[in-house]
């Protein structure tokens, strides 16, 4: 891949910090964007420690003005954006049910924090839709302007397994990631005449801070949900952030120059397995 300016949102986080480091090792100039500037700067320090080139920029993917300012800083320090990786995303507990299936007795459960479908909070659902979908759309509006009419530019969104088939308990996050996958296809078509490819990764299950409490108990053993996931993953393990590197480098490179509008599962076979 020729040397590019790569902007990653949410790159202070677990998965995209790994992608930022891998892209820096390939010689690209990296803009590490995150709401949490301390986390972004730690990633920058680690990249600069092996003579990579990176800058940390505070940016809120839900605020256009914040992204406009971030773009100015990226352009001033690194030049026009060639590749955008929309990594900021996540779930919210208020858009999550306590149980996978509704049972009649659940309606009488008054335990604090217990949530059925009927207790889901519209604000929690809105938060999740905004963070994943609007948080992909706005950075694209801001940074893709640099890409129009230039060669070798592309966008990589981060979708999820639950976009193909919703996971139990997390309707908001599943719906929001389905929107990200759908938008990836829409945008790939829309941008097809101006030289911008648009694709997405659909990571399977990666043990990160976002889902650790759902998948493991305090002693590190698997919860029943964690066990179910491993049982449904033919390769028999959770993903490691490094598992996303190869597909990312490929989709952002000239090797994928005729690939646009795809959502690639990186999931140890989870989405291919019927369970039988």
Kindly tell me which residue out of 6, 15, 163, 251 binds ligand NAD, with binding defined by CB under 6 A: 15
**Which C-beta is closer to ligand NAD: that of 177 or that of 197?**
177
Concerning whether 50 is annotated as a catalytic residue, the answer is no
Applying CB under 6 A, the span of 13-21, 104-112, 145-153, 191-199 interacting with ligand NAD comes to: 13-21
Kindly tell me which residue out of 4, 6, 7, 10 binds ligand NAD, with binding defined by CB under 6 A: 10
Q: Point out the residue whose Cβ comes nearest to ligand NAD.
A: 13
Applying CB under 6 A, the span of 14-22, 100-108, 112-120, 143-151 interacting with ligand NAD comes to: 14-22
Sign of CA dihedral 22, 23, 25, 26: positive
Kindly tell me which residue out of 51, 105, 209, 219 binds ligand NAD, with binding defined by CB under 6 A: 209
SS3 sequence of the chain:
CCCCEEEEECCCCHHHHHHHHHHHHCCCEEEEEECCHHHHHHHHHHHHHCCCEEEEEECCCCCHHHHHHHHHHHHHHCCCCCEEEECCCCCCHHHCCCCCCCCHHHHHCCCCCCCCHHHCCHHHHHHHHHHHHHHHHHHHHHHHHHCCCCCCEEEEEECCHHHCCCCCCCHHHHHHHHHHHHHHHHHHHHCCCCCEEEEEEEECCECCCCCHHHHECCCCCECHHHHHHHHHCCCCCCECHHHHHHHHHHHCCHHHCCCCCCEEEECCCHHHCCCC
Q: What b-and-e string marks burial along 114-125, b requiring 16 or more CB atoms within 10 Å of the CB?
A: ebeeeeeeeebb
**Which C-beta is closer to ligand NAD: that of 184 or that of 211?**
211
Kindly tell me which residue out of 1, 28, 29, 34 binds ligand NAD, with binding defined by CB under 6 A: 34
- Do residues 137 and 67 make contact, with C-beta atoms less than 8 angstroms apart? no
Using CB under 6 A as the binding rule, the residues of this chain from 129 to 188 that contact ligand NAD are 131, 135, 158, 160
Minimal distance, residue 38 CB to ligand NAD, in Å: 10
**Which C-beta is closer to ligand NAD: that of 27 or that of 231?**
231
- Do residues 215 and 205 make contact, with C-beta atoms less than 8 angstroms apart? yes
Kindly tell me which residue out of 42, 62, 94, 230 binds ligand NAD, with binding defined by CB under 6 A: 62
Q: Is 94 in the site for ligand NAD (CB under 6 A)?
A: no
Q: Catalytic: which of 127, 129, 143, 173?
A: 173
Q: Is 265 in the site for ligand NAD (CB under 6 A)?
A: no
Applying CB under 6 A, the span of 6-14, 163-171, 219-227, 255-263 interacting with ligand NAD comes to: 6-14
Name the token pair of 147. 């890409």
Q: Is 12 in the site for ligand NAD (CB under 6 A)?
A: yes
Number of chain positions touching ligand NAD (CB under 6 A): 30
Q: Which residues bind ligand NAD (CB under 6 A)?
A: 9-10, 12-16, 34-36, 39, 59-62, 87-90, 131, 135, 158, 160, 203, 205-206, 208-211
Catalytic site residues? 173
């Amino acid at each position: 891949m020729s040397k590019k300016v790569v902007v990653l949102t949410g790159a202070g986080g677990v998965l995209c910090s790994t992608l930022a480091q891998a892209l820096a090792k390939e010689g690209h100039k990296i803009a590490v964007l995150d709401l949490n500037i301390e986390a972004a700067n730690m990633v920058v320090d680690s990249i600069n420690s092996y003579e990579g080139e990176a800058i940390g920029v505070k940016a809120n993917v839900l605020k256009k003005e914040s992204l406009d300012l971030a773009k100015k800083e990226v352009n001033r320090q690194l030049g026009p954006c060639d590749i955008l990786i929309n990594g900021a995303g996540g779930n919210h507990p208020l858009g999550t049910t306590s149980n996978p299936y509704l049972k009649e007795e659940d309606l009488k459960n008054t335990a604090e924090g217990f949530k059925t479908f009927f207790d889901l909070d519209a604000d929690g659902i809105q938060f999740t839709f905004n963070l994943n979908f609007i948080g992909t759309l706005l950075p694209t509006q801001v940074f893709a302007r640099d890409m129009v009419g230039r060669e070798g530019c592309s966008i990589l969104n981060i979708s999820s397994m639950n976009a193909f088939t919703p996971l139990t308990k997390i309707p908001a996050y599943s719906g929001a990631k389905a929107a990200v996958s759908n938008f990836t296809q829409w945008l790939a078509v829309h941008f097809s005449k101006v030289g911008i490819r648009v694709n997405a990764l659909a990571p399977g299950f990666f043990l990160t801070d976002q889902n650790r409490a759902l998948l493991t108990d305090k002693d590190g053993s698997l919860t029943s949900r964690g066990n179910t996931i491993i049982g449904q993953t033919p390769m028999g393990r959770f993903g490691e952030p490094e598992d996303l590197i190869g597909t990312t480098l490929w989709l952002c490179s000239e090797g994928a120059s005729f690939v646009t509008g795809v959502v690639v599962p990186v999931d140890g076979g989870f989405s291919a397995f019927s369970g039988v």
